[in-house]
Structure 1
Amino acid sequence: MLARAGDLSNALVVLPEMAESGFTNNPARVADGKSELFACAQSKKYGCYLQHGFAQARGDSFVNMVAIADPHGTIVARYAKTHLFSPTSEHAHYQAGDSVTVAKLALATSATHSEPAQKISNDDIAKVNPRRAVQSNDAVSVAPMICYDLRFPELWRHAALAGAELFTLSACWPAPRADHRRALCIARAIENQAVVVACNRVGNEPNTSYAGESFILSHTGQVLAVAGDKSEILTATIDMNEVRAWRAKFPALRDMRRELLGHCTIKDC
């Protein structure tokens, strides 16, 4: 799949929630402990940042996890899903995470052109190359989220106030609620003045259909790129200077009364 994605040098590549297995309430069957090794091998091979979703053992339970591997093949960020989807009893099979992750990634500094979508596999894949007139050590602050987390804006607000300027959302979001996902992602982008890269799985399970429709949103909620309901690769070029300029011009985050928001543990990476 990644081999057909074009030049990935220092790009951020986002895969769906539980990309290896699809969502499951039988994590013991799929949590083999090798998922991070796979992510590291692929990120090093293609020279990219790779966000990969999987189930991982934690103590006597499991977590619904995403990890980001850097171009050197090293895990630089982990995030465990904090909001478990009770309608499908996810909470009975997984342990919820208890913190937000904000990772500083040295993403690509050179411009690339958006590429046409290509049908490549059973999952959507989203790729973003930030274009910035800044030095390469001026990292982009990225906050990974997972599926149901989208419905809890306080989580995103905490990450934004901790510096997040680009959010990723790995999901297995069912087709009947696809409109909710798009509307909520647009709201998260606008209210947090941040880019949103939302990657969703495609295909069908016995009782569930997945819409795909991965998309990349600007910091003002503009749809920069969107996929269909088949497997595709989606790319966009982002100018992070525009994000930062808008935040300086329209200071909604600075005007936020943080004391009304409560406490959240932030993991800086």
Structure 2
Amino acid sequence: MAPLRTALYQGPGGVPRTSEDSLAALARTARRAADAGARLLLASELYLTGYAVGDALPGLAETADGPGAGRVAGIAAENGLAIAYGYPERAGRTLYNSVQLIGPDGSRLANYRKTHLFGDFETDHFTPGDRAVVQADLDGVRVGLLICYDVEFPENVRAHALAGTELLLVPTALMRPYEIVAQTVLPARAWESQLYIAYANRCGREGDFHFTGLSCLAAPDGTVRARAGVADDLVVADMDPDLLKASRAENSYLGDRRPELYTSLL
């Protein structure tokens, strides 16, 4: 099977812009990603609105099929690549911190609501989602979705591995001083659960938050196939199904599990 070339968009950094600015930047970046041969572009957590929006959040949230989704669908179809992006989702009176995956034809493939909320801003404004594993198929690859803090719980990533996820997309707003997550935890998660993890972070300062950057594509052999710096960046690397198959044959973690011993975790 051919590799799935994946682009990670770390930006735009700094003070939150309008959704229009974010969409314009996404359109420019999608063209660059497509020119580099990417079939998938991953943007950061709450990409459409910015993260540090405080009490303005309810007025910025929209439904999963709202105008932002329509604009992203147009960008995806125009450039022939899938796009996953973070946004604040409104469902009735409830707000979720969500990521949506749009296919290269502009169709809506999957929508995931963050299950593990981090910090006062998120717990004050969002309701946690209740579905641990959300997946879609893209070019023959089983793609899964998590958001930021979710990936720091090994149970979440292992659940995806056991459900067949091969490439886990994680839009992120990782802040200083937690660089260890991007530098150490992500490669370990990919290794221990035998899958690829695409991790697209925010960068720069937004209000009281200072984001670390360091977006990466971690492979199941524990290596990092692409790594961004700390400023606006676009990095591209391949998710290789053949390498994943060989790594799973070599690394027997999944097959050697003994679930009957782990019942105390439930």
| Structure 1 position 83 matched with structure 2 position 116 | yes
Q: What TM-score does the superposition give when structure 2 sets the normalisation length? A: 0.81
**Deviation at residue 92 of structure 1 after TM alignment:** 2.1
Q: Distance in 2 between matches of 1:37 and 1:262?
A: 45
Instruction: Give the corresponding residue for 1:54.
Output: 87
**Deviation at residue 150 of structure 1 after TM alignment:** 2.0
Instruction: Give the corresponding residue for 2:181.
Output: 180
Q: List runs of 5+ in structure 2 lacking aligned partners.
A: 1-28
What code does the residue aligned with 1:242 have?
L
Instruction: Give the corresponding residue for 2:211.
Output: 210
Change beyond 3 A, Cα 1:60–1:8: farther
Aligned residues: 232
| Structure 1 position 31 matched with structure 2 position 61 | yes
Instruction: Give the corresponding residue for 2:48.
Output: 20
* Kept in 1: contact 2:34–2:79 (CA 8 A): no
**Deviation at residue 10 of structure 1 after TM alignment:** 6.5
Instruction: Give the corresponding residue for 1:135.
Output: none
The DSSP-based 3-state class of the residue aligned with 1:5 is helix
Decide which moves more: 188-197 or 178-187.
178-187
What code does the residue aligned with 2:30 have?
L
Q: Distance in 2 between matches of 1:8 and 1:34?
A: 28
Q: Distance in 1 between matches of 2:221 and 2:249?
A: 14
Instruction: Give the corresponding residue for 1:194.
Output: 195
The superposition leaves residues 141-163 of structure 1 with CA deviations (integer Å, 9 ceiling, x where unpaired) of 11111111122111111111000
Change beyond 3 A, Cα 1:11–1:74: same
What value does the CA root-mean-square deviation take over the aligned residues?
A: 2.0
The correspondence of residues 119-268 of structure 1 with structure 2, limited to 5 A, is 139-259=140-260, 260=262
Change beyond 3 A, Cα 1:258–1:42: farther
Q: Distance in 1 between matches of 2:170 and 2:164?
A: 17
**Deviation at residue 5 of structure 1 after TM alignment:** 2.6
Q: Distance in 2 between matches of 1:64 and 1:44?
A: 25
* Kept in 2: contact 1:100–1:143 (CA 8 A): no
Q: Distance in 1 between matches of 2:120 and 2:40?
A: 31
**Deviation at residue 261 of structure 1 after TM alignment:** 6.1
* Kept in 2: contact 1:102–1:164 (CA 8 A): no
Q: Distance in 1 between matches of 2:108 and 2:164?
A: 20
**Deviation at residue 257 of structure 1 after TM alignment:** 2.8
Change beyond 3 A, Cα 1:41–1:221: same
The superposition leaves residues 106-145 of structure 1 with CA deviations (integer Å, 9 ceiling, x where unpaired) of 33xxxxxxxxxxxxxxxxxxxxxxxxxxxxxxx1111111
The correspondence of residues 62-73 of structure 1 with structure 2, limited to 5 A, is 62-73=95-106
Q: List runs of 5+ in structure 1 lacking aligned partners.
A: 108-138, 265-269
**Deviation at residue 205 of structure 1 after TM alignment:** 1.7
Change beyond 3 A, Cα 1:77–1:9: farther
* Kept in 2: contact 1:225–1:234 (CA 8 A): yes
More helix, by proportion: 2
| Structure 1 position 98 matched with structure 2 position 130 | yes
Instruction: Give the corresponding residue for 1:4.
Output: 32
The superposition leaves residues 165-222 of structure 1 with CA deviations (integer Å, 9 ceiling, x where unpaired) of 1111111111221123322111210111111111001121231211211111111220
Q: Distance in 2 between matches of 1:49 and 1:218?
A: 20
What code does the residue aligned with 2:255 have?
R
What code does the residue aligned with 1:229 have?
V
**Deviation at residue 256 of structure 1 after TM alignment:** 1.9
The structure 1 segments of at least 4 consecutive aligned residues displaced by more than 4 Å after TM superposition are 261-264
Decide which moves more: 53-62 or 96-105.
96-105
